[in-house]
Amino acid sequence: MDLSISPADQAYRSKFRGWLNENLPTEFAKPDYMSLDDWNGKARTFREVQLKLFAAGYTGVHWPTEYGGQGGTLMQHIIVTEELSASHPLRFIDGLSMGLVAPTLLSRGTEAQKKEFIPKLLSGEHIWCQGFSEPNAGSDLANVKTSAVRDGDKYIVNGQKVWNTIAHIADYCVVVVRTNPNVPKHKGLSYLLIDMKSPGVIVRPIKQITEDAEYNEIYFDNVEVPADRLVGQENEGWNIAITTLMFERIMGDISTVPVFQKGLNNIIRLASNTLRKGKPIIKDPIYRQKLARLQVDLEVMRTNMYRNLSTLLKGEMPGPEGSIGKIFWSEFNQRLQETALEIMGPYGQLMKGSKWAKDDGRFAFEFLRARGNTIEGGTTEVQKNIIGERVLGLPKDSARASK
Ligand SMILES: Cc1cc2nc3c(=O)[nH]c(=O)nc-3n(C[C@H](O)[C@H](O)[C@H](O)COP(=O)(O)OP(=O)(O)OC[C@H]3O[C@@H](n4cnc5c(N)ncnc54)[C@H](O)[C@@H]3O)c2cc1C
């Protein structure tokens, strides 16, 4: 595998960096926890910036022009993702739209769905969320109970979803529903695109340990969904859901490496500026080893990301090996944030708003938010089962299918 970036791609990176410096509002570059209580403001800023990126040809860089893309290369798309992830934390709002929904629609959607939804997603007109999990269907996603009953040219949807990131600002949701309760559970599922403004959709934010209400419950009460919003065939939604999850794991990998490099640089800065027994902590051999280990881990993650990328560059679909990166980045981030708190000592517990908090509570926020990393997108235990069964070919854990 050749890990070097071609001169043409390097030139593309420099051009994009120049464009970013000139065109992105400075408030967009603030850490996202700073405005954790202002989700409508975040959504507004996101749409404004997404539209600018779209107009300048920096969204959907490698996607077909007939759906609003630029017809460029996957490497150019990666360069844009890396640069934005490193400099503009709000990009996670489009993680779901661009990382999960668009690739699923491009590979499994109808021509009409691609033409209707992809351009609006690229321009920021539509923000998407993911409605998979339910109170009794998380790891065991096939256990979904939310029902969709066909009634002429529409489906009537009833049920409850939970933990749905940014559902409170989303325009549309990809939802896994049960269309046939009388067959083995993963055979009776379908995959619908639901307008979040439809009558009967109720969204209730859930406050997290960080104090931020980033995810939600969604209730569907006799919600009418046009039948042409079905992706794939009725009762074949399981395979479409798996496609979305494979993209979720592999794209998470790509956007997290530059974010973590920035986080590690912040922690190295923190270790240089924090004194213990009169000396900067960065001089302590124990912390030097910890920081070096984190940098080495990051390089492992980067190399694994390139391996996944080379699969995509060959035009192949992401496979179950995306679970390796998912385990690695989520556990890495927890180690990273724990190191920051160790360096800070008791100050590490102080949250945003405390006059004694360093960096306005950034490290405490990041530490608490990282706890969810090993759960979201499928838990570490479930990823291990996937690697064991589908990558290494070990015997099945159980009859249960996993998220
Ligand atoms: C921050 C965050 C954001 C999220 N965003 C979304 C979203 O946008 N959309 C969405 O649909 N969902 C979202 N989720 C939900 C997430 O996908 C689920 O929480 C996850 O799949 C686990 O499901 P669960 O919570 O029901 O736990 P359970 O499935 O009940 O698992 C409980 C425990 O049992 C273990 N376990 C379960 N099955 C097995 C097994 N077969 N082998 C070994 N151990 C097992 C798990 O590892 C876990 O430790 C989000 C979650 C978090 C934390």
| Tens place of pLDDT per residue across the chain (403 aa) | 566 789 999 999 999 999 988 887 665 665 555 566 688 888 888 888 889 999 999 999 989 999 999 999 888 988 888 888 777 655 567 788 888 999 999 999 999 999 999 999 999 999 999 999 999 999 999 999 999 999 999 999 999 999 999 999 999 999 999 999 999 999 999 999 999 999 999 999 999 999 889 999 999 999 999 999 999 999 999 999 998 888 877 766 667 888 888 889 989 999 999 999 999 999 999 999 999 999 999 999 988 888 877 777 777 777 888 889 889 999 999 999 999 999 999 999 999 889 998 888 889 999 999 999 999 989 999 999 999 999 999 998 765 544 5
Give 216's strand partners: 205
Number of CB atoms found within 10 A of residue 355's CB: 5
Calculate how far, in angstroms, residue 375's C-alpha sits from the geometric centre of ligand 1: 5
Task: Look at residues 342, 313, 186, 314 and name the one whose alpha carbon lies nearest to residue 254.
Answer: 313
CA distance 142 to 148: 15
CA distance 255 to 266: 18
400 lines ligand 1 (CB under 6 A): yes
Give 161's strand partners: 218
Beta-carbon contacts of 388 under 8 Å, excluding residues fewer than 6 positions away, are: 394, 397
Do 218 and 161 contact (CB within 8 A), yes or no? yes
Tokens of 146: 């939310």
What is the DSSP secondary structure assignment for residue 4, as one 8-state letter?
Answer: P
Nearest CA residue ID for atom 48, ligand 1: 379
> Exposed (0-12), middle (13-18) or buried (19+): which is 120, by Cβ within 10 Å?
middle
CA distance 33 to 28: 12
Nearest CA residue ID for atom 12, ligand 1: 133
Mutate to test the pocket of ligand 1, among 129, 146, 163, 203 (most ligand atoms within 8 A of CB): 163
Do 179 and 148 contact (CB within 8 A), yes or no? yes
